[in-house]
Chains A and B, each alone.
Chain A
Amino acid sequence: MNAPKPKHQRLVLVVLALVALVGAGLLAAYALRNQASYFYLPGQMLADPPEVGQAVRLGGMVEQGSLETAADGVTLTFAVTGNDGSRVPVRFSGIAPDLFVEGSGVVAEGRLGPGGIFIADNLLAKHDENYVPRELQDMDQHQAAQMAEETTVGLE
């Protein structure tokens, strides 16, 4: 193949780059619509639950008094509450992150299991003692604790 004429070559390169970039953009847009793991607040998860088994994130406050360790010593159960009084029970097998305590913010990664229990594979608590999930920032720590106290119900 001979080297193409400069004008022609420039055009080919520009078209190639554009096609790839637009392709990447379209692919990203498509994948983002379909594959992004969605963030749920407890209220949203109750009102419009994701499909069982679909990877999602659940964010909220760890309800006061709800944290329990199961007999195997490694499974934690607790409830995540939102600022509207809703609560979702969560089960997590693993070592909880350092800043994971009752009354603090948490983001649980995992999937909704049968029976409405959220099965977490991973808990995220920020590396900061003042971390509140950004979605709950409008509610201060005190309010959260108070609200959590009012809604405390034992886990079955």
Chain B
Amino acid sequence: MIAELGLAALWLAAALAALQMAVGFMAVRNDGASELAGLIRPAAIVQGVLVAFSFAMLVWLFAVTDLSVKLVASNSHSMKPLVFKLSGTWGNHEGSMLLWVTVMGLAGALIALVERRLPERTMNATLAAQGVVSLGFYAFLLLSSNPFERLPTPAAEGMGLNPLLQDIGLAFHPPTLYLGYVGLSVAFSFAVGALLTRQVTPDFARAMRPWVLGAWVMLTVGITAGSYWAYYELGWGGWWFWDPVENASLMPWLAATALLHSASVLASRDALRTWTIMLGVVAFSMSMVGTFLVRSGILTSVHAFAVDPERGTFILVLLGIFIGGALLLFALRANTISEGERFALASREGALVFNNVMLSSILAIVLLGTLYPLLTEAFDVRVSVGPPYFNPVGAIFVIPMLAAMAVGPLLRWRQDRIDRIGREVALFAALVLAGLVLFGLLAEIALLPLLGLAFGLGLAVASLLPLRRRKLGRTPLATWGMVVAHFGIAVALIGMASESAFTKERLAAVAEGGNATVGPWTIALQGVEPVAGPNWTAIQGRLAASYDGGEPHILTPQSRNFWAPPQQTTESALVTRWNGQLYAVIGDRAPDGRWQVRLWWKPFVPLIWYGGLLVALGGVLALLGRLLSDLRHRRLAVRIAERRADREALA
């Protein structure tokens, strides 16, 4: 009964999306005069409620492990801890797509409830565009991936969830990324809506900006968490692999970062109108391309879950319709959008444009590298593209972008001279140069990590300069947001460079009671014992690690065996110090009884993720700042209107 309720709600929501689309487009055509136009907002709100109800029903089915539902039977198990039963709802293809439309439906409902800034006609066009996108995904779910499908006879027991997904980090990682993807779909709808009505104004950018900011924060958190998860759960000691699945989340982030900056220019300076629209379309295209790559299994990836070529085709068709349609519309309308305010090349806008172009170039490089194996395979040549391509080619564009990040925020809007900020530029250049010389002489470091350390150092200091000579308490939150985010990039960069420059690795076969050393650490293998969890058994090593002869820390890396489904996983053990992390993995037993132990000493590696979190925090601050100032403006507008009404009443 629960499953049928969920399915019915899903069909109703789809019908409302169709209504929203049809009425929305009619209203735009008839200049908003359509009598039915009043239906659009309620339709969006009810659609959001229905799809959320449908998702809640699926969560319920997973919580009680209803084995008559195919999805539950093939992805869950009654013995699983409750939190993983719940997260199992989206740990599979159907559930994650339902989560996607749920978030989209709720986003549509929210726009319909709160957005009053846009002209009503643009609003209708935006909700109509949102209806189109939602409808595509409803069709996808209902026609090819029904999450509520029943089994002819209930299963006796579930097949279980992939053990790698049974990790608290991964339980909440995909929904975070999805919130990001879906936020970009809202930005896409805004862009299409504005194109339809030719109303590309600062107001449009202000309405779109919180969505882009929110999506960008979620993507940042998702990528950071995903990278940390891969680092500690996969047991290979790496944090970025240039795997298609990772690139699938990086590409929308790059586009969203560019969009965020250009939407800011449009909102506050009324420039870059067409460029912002274009990026709105591109950003969502990238999240669709990402979904397609992840879901279709078309590229060999080490961590693609829930792969099915038929569904890949469906997503590809959706991608073609949405993106092709939007690009066609863009081509037809772009030259009717009048250009906004002018600015000199040496200005804040100029630096932002430069940064946008660099980000787009990096995006192009990542996209080409990710799709290249597909292209060559058409000619029967099998190729895999990895770090030897992405790192140096990306760096060519990342480095000028870092320089622009350091200098741009110091420039004035509209028109400025570089020599006015000569001292700051000189400071940045001096820091970078000092870093190059210092690290270059101190240690033997490869070129890229060396550049990373030097530019990270320069940017860390330069990113704080916009706060100089300001009263910190009265500095707008949005400015704080920018400073924190840019500083976060510097911190992450230093972490990445430090990891690749200074990591020490040791692989040893150690007998119980024996020792191994790595960097400043001495590690003693005290013993190896069997342990058991709720749905696994494991071999657990007990390692006593002491830094430079200090107090020992106890590490317990495990090699786990899950029985449903049967699979082995590696649980690494970590010790975090202020200056880095010790990472330990236990492997197999050699025939002579010694145990394989793999140890890494990674100086300053946590900075990678602290930096990522700072970047996200910067986004949150900016978002809060915008929302608060919007609220203030709205209150002010109300007060002015009241006063005018009073005066008129008196007169």
Contacts and interface: CB of A to CB of B under 8 A. Distances in A.
B570 interface: yes
A71 to B, nearest CB: 8
Contacts of B393: 27-28, 31, 35
A36 B559 CA distance: 34
Given A12-B345, A39-B384, A73-B592, A94 B567 contact: no
A138 interface: no
A23 B588 contact: no
B508 A74 contact: yes
A24 to B, nearest CB: 4
Main secondary structure of the interface of B (DSSP, over half): mixed
A73 B568 contact: no
A142 interface: no
A69 B360 contact: no
B346 interface: yes
Contacts of B339: 6-7, 9-10
B312 interface: no
Interface in B490-546: 507-509
A87 interface: no
A153 interface: no
Contacts of B234: 127
B389 A36 contact: yes
A39 B382 contact: yes
Given A28-B364, A36-B384, A95 B345 contact: no
Interface string A53-67: 001010000000000
Interface stretch (B93-101, B365-373, B424-432, B444-452): B365-373
B225 interface: no
Given A17-B357, A73-B596, A129 B382 contact: no
B34 interface: no
A3 B269 CA distance: 14
Nearest to B397: A24
Nearest to B299: A134
A69 B591 contact: yes
Contacts of A124: 302
Contacts of A95: 235, 507, 570, 585-588, 596, 598
Contacts of A133: 300
B164 A73 contact: no
A96 B507 contact: no
Interface string A93-135: 1111111000000010100000000000010101111000111
B316 interface: no
Interface string B540-574: 00000000000000000001000001111110000
A73 B598 contact: no
A10 B335 CA distance: 11
List 8 A-B pairs, minimum CB-CB distance, nearest first.
Answer: A73-B509, A95-B587, A73-B590, A24-B361, A98-B568, A3-B342, A28-B368, A39-B382
Given A9-B339, A99-B567, 19 more contacts: A1-B345, A20-B397, A21-B360, A21-B361, A23-B361, A24-B360, A28-B365, A32-B383, A35-B389, A35-B393, A36-B389, A37-B385, A95-B235, A95-B588, A95-B598, A98-B570, A124-B302, A128-B305, A135-B382
Interface of B: 162, 164, 234-236, 275, 300, 302-303, 305, 339, 342-346, 353, 357-358, 360-362, 364-365, 368-369, 372, 382-386, 388-389, 392-393, 396-397, 414-415, 417, 507-509, 559, 565-570, 585-588, 590-592, 594, 596, 598
16 contacts: A1-B415, A1-B417, A3-B414, A4-B342, A20-B357, A21-B357, A23-B361, A24-B397, A32-B372, A32-B389, A35-B392, A36-B384, A99-B568, A124-B302, A126-B303, A135-B300
